[in-house]
Amino acid sequence: MLNAGASARRDNQFGRDAYSMSETRQPHSAEHFTNDRDHWWNADYLDLLQQRYALQTCRRVLEFGAGIGHWTVLLRGLCAPDATFTLIEREPEWIAALERRFSDQPGIAAVCADVTDMPTFDAPFDLVTCQTLLMHIADVEEVLRAARRLLRPGGLLLVVEPNNLANRLQATPDSGLTPEEFGALAALWWAWEIGRTKRGFGREWIAEELPRLIVRAGFTNLTASQNDKLFLRYPPYDTLDQTVVHGSLTEAIAAATELEPRTQVWDYCLAGGLDALGFERGWAALEMLARRTSDGLCAGSLSSAGLANFCVFGARAPFS
């Protein structure tokens, strides 16, 4: 048995956003807006969030980095039935997609803007929220300060962000990696993260930093929890969840060996302080893990709990 972990591009649910700006000329995250985003949450955990944060009392909602509305749709069912949603998105293509998606739903407006340079609004919001946005932002504290300014006193900040450094390192001893190979893999992803940040693409482990940043941005009553969804993988890999997240078995086998582009990983890793030898060792371990994942799927021996560090932070704008 081995843990599919985060070795291959498709297997890392929350890490699949990293390259979109630098690698392709498509709009940000284009290749990642797939149906699996609708399966990131257990419905009863969302109910718990609603209860915990009294989301049903939120009537004016502002979402940062809305993409094509995956988080919006879920929130819509949790906030006040007559809630209005203002969706901030930088990519004109996604604005058009949002307008199409919500054209028959009054009260949802898409605004083309950069969250690092927010426009002003007529009235403050009850809720400012985002999902997998801050991991792409260089100056997260600035965006959090903007959120605070736009909230009413006592208004809720609700942010959902991963720690993809942890998510990428979920190989178990069953993966067949030696301790040295696992160390090389860890060094590769560690350097990759540092290099990515240096290149100005944000921090994929942003969840770890958020408590400090949220408090520094002036919020109070900080609470946090963890999305309780696990992305199970077990033979014969044909449950609805597995099929939606990983595709058919044939697709999953192909995707298992679909690694991040080597030149991109090289660039980030060297920017992050890894030398050429360290990179080659890490890359070899990555390839081996990917191959074992693919082989494990073919043989029907791969099994994984699919842990995902995906955190929910709630905090309140101060009253004074």
Ligand X SMILES: C[S@@+](CC[C@H](N)C(=O)[O-])C[C@H]1O[C@@H](n2cnc3c(N)ncnc32)[C@H](O)[C@@H]1O
Which residue's CB is nearer to ligand X, number 98 or number 286? Answer: 98
For ligand X, the binding residues in 299-318 under the rule CB under 6 A are: none
- What is the distance of C-alpha 120 from the center of its chain? 27
For 173, residues 6+ apart whose C-beta sits below 8 A from its C-beta are none
Q: Write out the DSSP string of 202-249.
A: --TTHHHHHHHHHHHTT-EEEEEEE------B-TT--SHHHHHHH-SH
For ligand X, the binding residues in 74-93 under the rule CB under 6 A are: 88-91
Work out whether 15 is an interface residue with ligand X (CB under 6 A): no
The tokens for 280 are: 């080659």
Q: Strand ranges (DSSP E) for 132-187?
A: 151-162
Work out whether 36 is an interface residue with ligand X (CB under 6 A): no
Q: How many CB atoms lie within 10 A of CB 195?
A: 21
Which residue's CB is nearer to ligand X, number 150 or number 285? Answer: 150
Work out whether 196 is an interface residue with ligand X (CB under 6 A): no
Distances (CA, A) of 291 to 4, 103, 109, 257: 10, 45, 45, 6
Work out whether 116 is an interface residue with ligand X (CB under 6 A): yes
Which residue's CB is nearer to ligand X, number 162 or number 296? Answer: 162
Work out whether 233 is an interface residue with ligand X (CB under 6 A): no
The tokens for 22 are: 């630098």
Binding span for ligand X by CB under 6 A among 126-134, 236-244, 261-269, 299-307: 126-134
Q: Which of 37, 148, 168, 203 binds ligand X (CB under 6 A)?
A: 37
Beta strands at 60-64 and 84-89: parallel, antiparallel or unpaired:
parallel
Work out whether 148 is an interface residue with ligand X (CB under 6 A): no
Which residue's CB is nearer to ligand X, number 110 or number 171? Answer: 110
Which residue's CB is nearer to ligand X, number 24 or number 178? Answer: 24
Q: Which of 94, 192, 219, 266 binds ligand X (CB under 6 A)?
A: 94
For ligand X, the binding residues in 40-69 under the rule CB under 6 A are: 65-67
**Separation of alpha carbons 317 and 90, rounded Å:** 25
Give the residue among 141, 269, 159, 200 at the shortest CA–CA distance from 21: 200
Q: How many CB atoms lie within 10 A of CB 222?
A: 15
Work out whether 14 is an interface residue with ligand X (CB under 6 A): no
Task: Work out how close the CB of 30 gets to ligand X at its nearest, in angstroms, rounded to a whole number.
Answer: 9
Work out whether 17 is an interface residue with ligand X (CB under 6 A): yes
Task: Work out how close the CB of 93 gets to ligand X at its nearest, in angstroms, rounded to a whole number.
Answer: 9
The binding site for ligand X (CB under 6 A) comprises: 17, 28-29, 37, 65-67, 70-71, 88-91, 94, 114-116, 131-133, 136
